[in-house]
Amino acid sequence: MMHRNRHRRRVVPQIVRLIWRSVQAIAKALIYLAVEFTVYVAIGGGAIALFWLGLPSYVALGLSIGLVILSFTVSFLAYRQHHRITRRSVKTDASPMIKGDVKLADWIAQTLATKAPQEWDEYQDWLHDILLDRRQCLDQGDPYWRVTALTYWRLTGLCITVSLIKLRRLAIAARRMR
């Protein structure tokens, strides 16, 4: 009888942990889907605006389909990169204690610093503010899942903003080359 009680004591926390991890995974997936939906609504609104401004419908549709494909590609690549970052072994990781949203913020900082130094100079304060607000919310006792969701949302906004600015600068540079 005593052996069964010990076994139950081990199994129940494992089940609770499994349920908690499942709930966290579902919450992250829903946040991701909400962000994706927002992007697609914005793309659709842009296509409607282009059509309304007098652009032929096939051009507006082509642009919106191109943007949707680009969005799918960027989402897939971001997911793969985030998956690689979070699955790194402790030996190769400089700070083994950071996880999830903070690790993603660290990757964004490293990527911007190496591949887009001009944007990094402009937007490193924004990234700092995102992480500072994360810490303050956790210190105030806000639920961890809510703080994590908000941090992912803000990091997504930062990435979208920097990407749009980079694309705009590339378009301006291409226009000047003509």
Residues of the chain where predicted confidence (pLDDT) is lower than 50: 1, 89-96
Tokens of 42: 């914005």
**pLDDT given at position 21:** 79
Relative orientation angle of helices 117-140 and 100-115, to the nearest 10 degrees: 160
- Model confidence over 11-41: pLDDT tens digits? 667 777 778 777 777 777 777 777 777 777 7
Q: Please state, in angstroms and rounded to a whole number, the distance separating the CA atoms of residues 14 and 80.
A: 28
pTM of the model: 0.47
Q: How far is CA 170 from CA 158, 166, 173, 176, in A?
A: 18, 6, 5, 10
Burial letters for 162-173: b for 16+ Cβ neighbours within 10 Å, e otherwise?
Answer: beeeeeeeeeee
Q: Please state, in angstroms and rounded to a whole number, the distance separating the CA atoms of residues 131 and 78.
A: 20
**pLDDT given at position 165:** 79
Tokens of 77: 């690549």
